[in-house]
Amino acid sequence: MSGDGAFNGFTGYGKAGRGALRHLEDDSEYRGAPVPFGQKELDELTALDARWAWVEVDQSAIRDNTIAARKAIRPGTRLMAVVKADAYGHGAIACSRTALASGADYLGVATVQEAVELRNAGITAPIALLAEPPASSVPLLLAYRIEPAVYSPEFALAYAETADAHNMKAPYHLAVNTGMNRIGVRAEDVVEFERQVDFHRALVQVGTFTHFATADCPESLDFEIQLHRFNEALSALRSAGIDPGIVHAANSASIFRYPQTHFDMVRLGISLYGFPACKEVRDAAVLRPAMSVYARITAVKNVPVGEGVSYGMNYRSPGSVKICTVPLGYADGLRRGLSGRCSFVLDGQYCPQVGNICMDQCMFEVDMRSRPGVARLDPQVGDKVVIVGRSGDAVVTISEMAHALGTIEHEVAIGFSHRMPRVQV
Ligand SMILES: *Cc1c(COP(=O)(O)O)cnc(C)c1O
């Protein structure tokens, strides 16, 4: 299935050649030598014609992961798909459409621009902005119906006054700081905060939320303290006659680990894209990674024994290997720290990446010795190589890359940059 409605295959990238011709024809160096291709012909070439490295996003995995999260919560609980940072690098528009069509009710973003992009794509679902933006963005919030997090009286009043001046309401989600100390009104101060702003008739508290710092950590004491403070803040609001609206707290880890955090809505981020948030929830649901990264071989050579490969030459050819080059590097998000520490897959076989990963290219090794029971590979320019994903029984995961780098999947997935075309399948 596809989130974008169009295509059987490719979308989500610009055309390769659009707009270049007029400029070249004006350039003195080209005067008298008209470009021998029509603009239409050039426009029909895609980013994949121009580049042999791309990111593929499987929208059926986004759908299945949405359904898996729905199964983990009660039927009446709302599900927010967190699609910030271009859906963790997966393509926010396509993933939002798929998640909404598969049981999500709300979208969550980190910036005003991210929300505007979704609205411009025709998405009408409620969008929560999980941070308080600058007051100068208020016209955008109101025009595009974006529900911001609120935790400062100055912002709340600026928001309310602009809304009121246009006969509009100013819906918001009260952010409660229960211990992470990132954003939010301190839990013990929520009633006082509401008293400061609540008089304003335009403000509408559509939600109240907090965020857990340690839902994915093995020990749970800090988590328990945050949850306790959140419950206290909710009771205090209710005792003061203030309706907290839609109450939400759970991120991916707590969706699958702590059902007592589900309240009225949960916020599904990393697990929407197919990753368990921590080892404690590895068996809680079957999730499917949606992102694959592919490249095609651009060069194949025999490198004599002892010769080096790539910057620094800290890899030396053992002979009886072919060294293949693929056109992606750390500028595309294949982090340099993975140099010599990851493998790619060619024709179902693991091939070690060798030599330092360069900015735009890197190399891998194909063993050319005959080995019993292993088919001998014959790499050719143009062959498709799996950088992340599956080929036959061989699979390379973002999780193992994150582990090798000492980081989390979020950072690795988001890192696969927009210099690579995104293909939604
Ligand atoms: C990013 C974010 C989420 C999603 O977290 P995951 O761990 O990726 O599920 C949820 N809530 C808030 C406030 C966030 O900033």
From residue 212, alpha-carbon distances to 194, 208, 228, 393, 407 in Å are: 22, 14, 12, 37, 19
User: Which is the catalytic residue, given 15, 40, 84, 279?
Assistant: 84
Are 309 and 340 in contact by the 8 Å Cβ rule? The answer is no
DSSP conformation letters of 274-316: T--SSGGGTTTS-----EEEEEE--EEEE--TT-B-SGGG-SB
Q: What pLDDT score was predicted for residue 309?
A: 97
Q: Measured at the alpha carbon of residue 295, what is the angle toward residues 292 and 300, in degrees to the nearest 5?
A: 145
Task: Record the tokens describing residue 174, joined without a space.
Answer: 């009260």
Distance 251 CA to ligand 1 centre (A): 5
Residue nearest to ligand 1 atom 15, measured at CA: 130
Return the exposure string of 303-319: e unless at least 16 CB atoms fall within 10 Å of the residue's CB, then b.
beeeeebbeeeebebee
Mutation choice for ligand 1 from 83, 107, 130, 412, CB with most ligand atoms inside 8 A: 130
What CA–CA distance (Å, rounded) separates 406 from 400? 10
Are 297 and 326 in contact by the 8 Å Cβ rule? The answer is yes
User: Which is the catalytic residue, given 30, 71, 301, 311?
Assistant: 311
What CA–CA distance (Å, rounded) separates 397 from 403? 10
What CA–CA distance (Å, rounded) separates 191 from 198? 10
Q: What pLDDT score was predicted for residue 8?
A: 35
DSSP 414: H
Residue nearest to ligand 1 atom 4, measured at CA: 269
What CA–CA distance (Å, rounded) separates 66 from 266? 12
Q: What pLDDT score was predicted for residue 9?
A: 40
Distance 345 CA to ligand 1 centre (A): 32
Residue nearest to ligand 1 atom 1, measured at CA: 269
Pocket of ligand 1 (CB under 6 A): 82, 84, 130, 211, 251-252, 267-270, 277
pTM of the predicted model as reported, rounded to 2 decimal places: 0.90
SS3 146: strand
Active site residue 169: no
> For 173-222, what is each residue's pLDDT tens digit?
999 999 999 999 999 999 999 999 988 999 999 999 999 999 999 999 99
CB count within 10 Å of CB 172 equals: 27
**Positions in the chain whose pLDDT score sits under 70:** 1-33
Q: What pLDDT score was predicted for residue 2?
A: 37
Are 398 and 390 in contact by the 8 Å Cβ rule? The answer is no
Are 267 and 173 in contact by the 8 Å Cβ rule? The answer is no
Sign of CA dihedral 217, 222, 226, 228: positive
In one-letter notation, the amino acid at residue 154 is E
Distance 130 CA to ligand 1 centre (A): 9
Active site residue 84: yes
Distance 128 CA to ligand 1 centre (A): 12
Are 311 and 325 in contact by the 8 Å Cβ rule? The answer is no
DSSP conformation letters of 60-118: HHHHHHHHHHHHHS-TTSEEEEE-HHHHHHT-HHHHHHHHHHTT--EEEESSHHHHHHH
Q: What is the pairing mode between strands 321-326 and 78-82?
A: unpaired
Are 355 and 339 in contact by the 8 Å Cβ rule? The answer is yes
What CA–CA distance (Å, rounded) separates 101 from 59? 11
In one-letter notation, the amino acid at residue 215 is A
Atom of ligand 1 nearest to the CA of 209: 13
